[in-house]
Amino acid sequence: MIGRATTADVPAIARLEQVALGRDAWSEGLVRDGVTGGVPSVHYLVARSGSRLVGYAVASAVADLVELQRIAVDPAYRRSGVATALLDDVVDLAVAEGAERIMLEVREDNVPALAFYGENGFRELDRRPRYYRDGATAVVLERLVSGPPTSV
C-alpha cells in the first residue's frame, strides 16, 4: 500500500496537494523537484488503493531530525487508516536515517490533525504565530523516534 513516489505520481500528488492544502499547496514543479531528487534530503511516500494514489507524505531527513512536511489523504479515504500507514512509514524512515525525533507544524485550528498526532505520540513544543498565509498560528509538535511515544 505504501511506497516511494515516482515521477508518474507527480500530477496526482499535485492535485491532492491542491485539494488538501488549497492556497498553501506546493506547485507541481516543486513536487516534481522533490520526487525526482532535486532536494536530496526529501522523501515522498505514497499510499495507493489499487492503482489510485490516495495519499502521500513528505519528509525531510537531516542528521538526527526528520521533519514531516506533509501528510495528505484523499477525502474519500480519510479515517480509513491511510494517514496512520503513511505516518508509520515516516517513523520507519526516521529509524533507517538514524533520526532521534520527528517534528512537524500543524495549524492550531486543525483539531482533527492535532488529535491524530497526539494519538500517535507527538507532543507540543512551541507555537508560531502568523505562520500561515492567512495569519493562522502553527503548533510545533515532536515525537521521539526511540522509546515509548509521548502524548500531547
Break the chain into its structural domains and give their ranges.
2-99, 104-152
pLDDT averaged over every residue in the chain: 92
CATH topology of domain 2-99: Aminopeptidase (3.40.630)
Q: Which residues contact 46 (CB under 8 A, 6 or more apart)?
A: 2, 3, 4, 5, 9, 13, 53, 55, 56
Exposed / middle / buried, residue 83 (Cβ in 10 Å: 0-12, 13-18, 19+) = buried
pLDDT at 150 over 70: no
Q: What pLDDT digit, counting tens, does each position of 81-129 carry?
A: 999 999 999 999 999 999 999 999 999 999 999 999 999 999 999 999 9
